[in-house]
Chain A
Amino acid sequence: MSAVRVKAFVNLYAAIGTLEKYIELDPEAKNIAEKHNLVIRFQVKDGPDGVLVFKDGTAKVTPFDGKIRTDIHLYCAGPEKFNAVVDGKGMPIPLKGLMKTLSFMGKPESPFNILSGRMGDIMRGKNIDTPEKKKLSTLLAFYAMAAAIAQIGNEDEIGSLAMKRIPEGDILLEIKDAAYATITKKDGKLICRFARCEKPKAIMSFNSIEVAGDLINGKIGAMDCLSKGMLEMKGFIPMLDNLNKVLNLVPRYLA
C-alpha cells in the first residue's frame, strides 16, 4: 500500500470523482457535460480500475464492474503513470476509442480537460472573484475530502487501521443546508456517496459554508470550531474518532 498507489485511488475517486458535483453545481460545466454521453474506463495496473460515466449532463465515477460497456479504455502501466496523467504530465495508453479519446481529452481545449482544469482551479482557489465561486470552491473541496476519506481509509496502511475500527453503518458529513456526503462502512470497507443518508449512526456537521471553507483550508482548527459550536460531532463518536484519524491523512494525498 504505497503512498503513490493510495494517491492513484484518491485521484480517480476523489479528484476526478468530484466532477459529479462540479457538473451538478456549475451550469457552465453542465452545458459541456450534457453534450457527451460517454463511458471512460481508467485501468491502472496495481491500482484503481474505474469508470467515469457521462450521461445526460451528469457524471459519476464508480469501480469498473466488468459489465459496463465502455467507449474509451485508458490504461496506465502503474499508479505513478496515472498520477502523472492526472497532473497533466503524462498520457495514458488508449486501448479502445482512440478517436473519441482524442476528441474528448486529447488537447487542452478538449471537453474533459476544460472540465477538470476549471474544477481544479476552483478547488485550488484560483480566479475566485465572486461569492458564488467561493461557495462552489468550498463545496467541491468538501466533496473531494469526503471521497478521499473513503479511499484513504481503504488503501492507506495507517488509515486502514483506523478504518477497521469504524463500526458498520452510515456517517453523515454535512455543511448545514448546503452539502451532504455519506460515508458507509460495509463489509469492512468505506464507501462514499454525495448524498444525505436517512439514519446516520454518527454526524459531523459544519454550521456554515464559511466555517467548512476555513476548516478545510486550515485557517481555523477543528477543536476551536468544536468548542465554539461551529462544528458539531454527535452520535456514535468512536465512528468519528476513527474517521478523523483518516481525515488527518487527507492533505497528504489531496493537495
Chain B
Amino acid sequence: MKTYSYNKSLELMERASKVIPSGVYGHLGPAEGCMIPTSAFPFFLSRAKGSLMWDADGNRFIDYMCGYGPNVTGYCDEDVDAAAQAQMKLGNCTTLPSYIMVDFAELLTRTVKKDWAFFAKNGGDVTSFAIMIARYYTGKKKIIFVNNYYHGVAPWTQKADSPGTLKTDCMHSIYVDWNNLDQLKKVIAENKDDIACFISTPYMHGNFTDNQLPAPGYWQAVRKLCTDNNIVLICDDIRAGFRLSLEGSDNYYGFEADLICFCKAIANGYNVSALCGKNFIKDAAGAIMYTGSYWMSAVPFAAGIANINKLIQNKAPEYFRKIGTMLTDGLAKIAKDRGVKLSISGEPAMFYLMIKDDDSLLLHQEWIAECVKRGVFLTNHHNHFVNLALTPELVNETLSICDEAMAVMVKNHPEVYR
C-alpha cells in the first residue's frame, strides 16, 4: 500500500512556526501529541466528516482521536450542525443568555442525574471551578489527586517543576495511586481536617501505561471515605463522559459524585463544558464569582441539546462498546497472529494500545507511524475514541491497514520477531 507524504502540512508548519508558538501548541501539536516520528504525521486538516478526516495534502484518514474526544456523533453531524445554525440566526453571544440555556441545563441534569449545571467553555474551566467550590464549601485546602491524572493545565494541576508553575501552586497537592485504598486512607489520616476534595477520572486513562478500570468496590469505598471525612468527591468525566454512559460515569461505575465535570462529548465539538452537582453544594457554586465572555453563548447550548438527544436516541454508549469491541478484538487477533505482544486496556469506547515487546516503546511508535502513513490516525500514547459515525466497514478497513502496518514493523525487527 502506498504511504502518505505531507508536503503541504510541512509548508504550513513552516509558516505557522513563525507566527504561532510551537507552530501547533498543546495536545494537537507534534510534541505533546507524541507524533513520533513527526514525518509520519500530518499537522493540518482541510476537512472532516463522520469518522473521516482529510489533511492539507488531501490524504484521507480514519480518525480514532475524534478531536481528542469532542466528536461523538461524528464530524459535521447534520443534526447537531442544523441546530447550531438555527440558533446562530437567533443570536449567540448576547447581553442576556438565551432561554435555551435553561432547556440545556434541564436536559443535562435529567440525563446525568444531578441537580444543577454550570456552563463554561473548556474542561479546565470546570475542574478549576470544582476545586474552588470544594475549598469554599469545606473551608479546607488540600486536593487529593490520583497519579497519572490530567485535569487541565491550570497551575493547581501542575507539578512544581513545570515551566510557569510556582512551588506554592502545588503545596496543597497530595498524590495517591489508582485503586489504592490503603494509600487513600493513609493520606486522609495524615491530613485530617485539611482535605477539601478528591478529584479523579472514573477510571485511570492516563498515558504511557495500561489503563485501569476500578477494582470491585473501589469507588464505593472512596465514596464512603469522602463522606465520612467531609471531602468533596469530584469526578472528572471530561474524557469519558457520554461514552461509557449517558448518565455520567459515576452512575456507570455505581457511585455518586458530588461534582462531575463534562466537556468533550457534550456538544459534538461545539465549545461548551459543564460542571454538574448535587443540591447540597449548589449555594457554594452560586456564591463564587466565576464567569467568562463566551460561557453563556447560545449556539453551543443548541448544539449540546441536539447532540445529547441524538446520543440518547441512538443508545450511543451501547454502540460505542460494540464497535470498540469489534475493533479491539480485531487488533488483538492481528497482533496474536503476528506474534506481537499488544496490550489493549481501558474501556472499548476509549481503548488504549501499547506494544510491550520492548520497554522503550520504540516498536509501538514504529507501528503507529506505519498505521498513520497508511490512513489510520492513531496516537502513540493516549487513549483513543470512537464515535457514532464509525461503521463496521470502516473498522474492517482499519484492521486491514493496521495488519499491514504491523507486518512492516515486524519485518523491520528480525532481532525481536524471529
The complex places the Cα of A202 from the Cα of B160 at a distance, in Å, of: 23
Q: Which residues on the A side are within 8 Å of B37 (C-beta)?
A: 229, 232, 234
What 1/0 mask marks residues of chain A from 128 to 171 whose CB sits below 8 Å from any chain B CB?
Answer: 00000000000000000000000000000011011001000100
Partner of A228, one of B10, B34, B163, B208: B10
Instruction: Mark contacts of A182-226 with chain B using CB atoms, 8 A cut-off: 1 yes-contact digit, 0 otherwise.
Output: 000000000000000001111000000000000000000101101
Stretch of B13-21, B313-321, B393-401 contacting A (4+ beta carbons < 8 Å): B13-21
CA distance A234 to B36 in the complex (A): 6
Smallest CB–CB gap between A249 and chain B, Å? Answer: 9
Whole-angstrom CA separation of A229 from B360 in the bound complex: 20
Which chain A residue has the least Cβ–Cβ distance from B25? A223
Q: Given the complex, which residues of A lie within 8 Å of B31, measured CB to CB?
A: 223, 226-227, 233
Closest-CB distance, A100 to chain B (whole angstroms): 43
Does B283 interact with chain A (Cβ within 8 Å)? no
Question: Smallest Cβ distance from A203 to chain B, in angstroms?
Answer: 8
Other-chain contact of A236, B25, B160, B359 (Cβ < 8 Å) = B359
Q: How far is the CB of A46 from chain B (nearest CB, A)?
A: 23
Classify chain B's interface size.
20 to 34
Contact with A along B21-48 (1 / 0, CB 8 A): 1111100011100101111000100000
Known: A224-B17, A237-B381. A161 touches B159 (CB 8 A): yes
A227 pairs with B161, CB closer than 8 A: no
A235 interfacial by beta-carbon distance below 8 Å:
yes
Task: Choose one: A161, A227, A235, A242; the contact of B160 (CB below 8 Å).
Answer: A161
Q: B39 touching A227 by the CB < 8 A rule?
A: no
Complex formed: what's the CA distance from A227 to B17 in Å? Answer: 9
Q: When A161-B159, A232-B37, A237-B208 are in contact, do A227 and B22 touch as well, CB less than 8 Å?
A: yes
Q: Is B23 a contact of A224 with CB atoms below 8 Å?
A: yes
Residues on B with beta carbons closer than 8 Å to the beta carbon of A169: 359
Please, which residue of chain A has its CB at the minimum distance from the CB of B369?
A234
- The residue of chain A having its C-beta at the shortest distance from the C-beta of B163 within the complex is A248
Q: Is there an interface contact between B34 and A237, defined as CB atoms closer than 8 Å? A: yes
Pick the residue among B29, B34, B38, B381 that contacts A229 (CB under 8 A).
B38
A238 to B10: give the CA distance in the assembly, Å: 26
Q: Chain B contact residues: over half helix, strand or loop, or mixed?
A: loop
| B14 x A228 contact (CB < 8 A) | yes
Q: Which A residue sits closest to B167, measured CB to CB?
A: A158
Separation of A162 and B25 alpha carbons in the complex (Å): 22
Q: Determine if B362 is an interface residue (Cβ-Cβ < 8 Å).
A: yes
Contact check, B161 vs A223: say whether CB atoms are below 8 A apart.
no
Q: If the complex has contacts A223-B31, A245-B161, are A235 and B361 also in contact, measured as CB distance less than 8 A?
A: yes
Q: Do A162 and B161 touch (CB < 8 A)?
A: yes
**Cβ contact within 8 Å between B30 and A227:** yes
Q: A151–B362 Cα gap in the complex (Å)?
A: 28
| B208 x A227 contact (CB < 8 A) | no
* Count of chain A to chain B residue pairs whose CB atoms are closer than 8 Å in the complex: 79
Check B13–A223 contact: CB distance below 8 A.
no
Q: Which of chain B's residues have a CB closer than 8 A to the CB of A245?
A: 161-163
Q: Could you say which of B21, B23, B24, B360 contacts A202, with CB atoms under 8 Å apart?
A: B360
Instruction: Let me know if A200 and B360 touch, CB within 8 A.
Output: yes
Chain A min CB distance to B100 (Å)? 40
Interface assignment of B365: CB less than 8 Å from any CB of chain A: yes
The smallest beta-carbon distance between A240 and chain B, in angstroms, is 10
Residues of B within 8 A of A158 (CB): 160-161, 167
Alpha-carbon separation in the docked complex, A226 to B41 (Å): 12
Contacts of A226 in B (CB 8 A): 30-31, 38
CA distance A124 to B347 in the complex (A): 54
Tell me the minimal C-beta distance from B7 to chain A in angstroms: 13
B361 contact set on A, CB distance < 8 A: 235-237
Residue contact A238 to B23, C-beta cutoff 8 Å: no
B23 lies within 8 A of A227 (CB): yes
User: Contact between B36 and A223 (Cβ–Cβ < 8 Å)?
Assistant: no
Chain B CB within 10 Å — which of A158, A223, A233, A242 has the most? A223
B287 to chain A, nearest CB (A): 35
Using A169-B359, A223-B29, A227-B38 as known contacts, say yes or no to A236 and B208 having CB atoms under 8 A apart: yes
Q: In the docked arrangement, what's the CA distance between A227 and B13, Å? A: 7
* Chain A residues within 8 Å of B163, by CB: 245, 248
What are the residues of chain A within 8 A of B381 when measuring CB–CB? 237
Contact: B360 with A236, CB < 8 Å? yes
The minimal Cβ–Cβ distance linking A22 to chain B, given in whole angstroms, is 31
Distance in Å from the Cβ of A252 to the closest Cβ of chain B? Answer: 13
Q: A199 vs B160: C-alpha distance in the bound complex, in angstroms?
A: 31
Within 8 A of A (CB), among B343-364: 359-362
Whether B208 and A159, one on each chain, are in contact in the complex, defined by CB atoms closer than 8 angstroms, is: no
Judge whether A228 and B13 touch: CB under 8 Å.
yes
Residues of B within 8 A of A223 (CB): 17, 21-23, 25, 29-31
Known: A161-B160, A226-B30. Is A221-B22 also a contact (CB below 8 A)?
yes
Residue of B nearest to A202 (CB): B360
Which residues of A sit under 8 angstroms from B23, Cβ to Cβ? 223-224, 227
Q: How far is the CA of A250 from the CA of B47 in the complex (A)?
A: 42
* Interchain CB contact (< 8 A) of A234 among B24, B359, B365: B365
| A235 in contact with B360 (CB, 8 Å) | yes
Q: Closest chain A residue to B159 by CB distance? A: A161
Check if A229 sits within 8 Å of B39, measured CB to CB. Answer: yes
Contacts of B24 in A (CB 8 A): 227
Cβ of B365: which chain A residues have Cβ within 8 Å of it? 234-235
* 6 nearest CB pairs, A to B: A223-B22, A161-B161, A235-B360, A162-B161, A224-B17, A201-B360
Q: For the A-B complex with A223-B29, A226-B30, A235-B361 known, give 6 more contacts whose Cβ atoms are closer than 8 Å.
A: A161-B160, A162-B159, A202-B360, A227-B43, A235-B365, A245-B161
Q: Offer 10 A-B interface pairs, CB within 8 angstroms, sorted by A.
A: A158-B160, A201-B359, A221-B17, A223-B30, A224-B22, A233-B31, A237-B36, A237-B208, A238-B208, A245-B161
Q: State the B residues within 8 Å of A (CB).
A: 10, 13-14, 17, 21-25, 29-31, 34, 36-39, 43, 159-163, 167, 208, 359-362, 365, 380-381
